[in-house]
Amino acid sequence: MSTSDVAEVLIRPIRDSDVEDLGRVHAQCWHETYDKLISKASLENLSPRRMAELWSRMATRGEEYNQFAALLDGEIVGFVGSGPARDENPPRDRELYFIYLLAQYQGTGIGQKLFDAACGDLPGYLWVAKDSPRAHRFYERNGMVLDGAEEVHPFLGEDLVEVRYVR
């Protein structure tokens, strides 16, 4: 993928009509991201249909949520979401909930465009898998630092160790 291709990517708010495509991309991203972190058996329960059902609820969130899709040639290739902090004692008021991009588009600048759309240069925080060095480098390039917090979060019926980044 060339730089000119990335320039043609469209970042736009998520629409409720996107739920089927988001379900497909979300499921694929989770397989690509978590296949080394959790068991194959847990991932087998993950389907585009199940993820589309999740998106049917998430796509209609209020204005305090920033949810964007990245489209290339009219197809969703990634998505991002941020909003009010969910933790009991959050280090910042805003949280980056998720950012996923199909593996073939990682390293092209599309992820940066998604991050910028949802977070800009505002203070915020996020939880990320502890064993995800590529993601760690991405967040660090965006001015985020580990604050020492670490938690075990349930994920698809298993435990996933996550660390917190803050900016």
Q: What is the pLDDT along the chain (167 residues), one digit of tens a residue?
A: 554 456 689 999 999 899 999 999 999 998 898 888 888 777 777 777 877 777 777 766 667 889 999 999 999 999 999 999 999 999 999 999 999 999 999 999 999 999 999 999 999 999 999 999 999 999 999 999 999 999 998 888 889 999 999 99
Residues in the chain: 167
| Residue 70 identity (one-letter amino acid) | A
Q: Tell me the C-alpha distance between 128 and 151, whole Å.
A: 10
Q: How many CB atoms lie within 10 A of CB 115?
A: 21
Residue ranges making up the domain that contains 135: 3-166
Segments of the chain assigned E as strands: 10-13, 66-72, 75-84, 94-101, 125-129, 145-155, 158-166
The number of domains in the chain is 1
Q: What crossing angle do the helices spanning 19-34 and 48-58 adopt, rounded to 10°? A: 120
pLDDT, position 46: 74
The pTM assigned to this predicted structure is 0.90
* CATH assignment at residue 147: 3.40.630.30
Residues 130, 161 contacting (CB under 8 angstroms): yes
Q: What is the Cα–Cα distance from 129 to 150, expressed in whole angstroms?
A: 10
Q: What is the DSSP letter of 142?
A: T
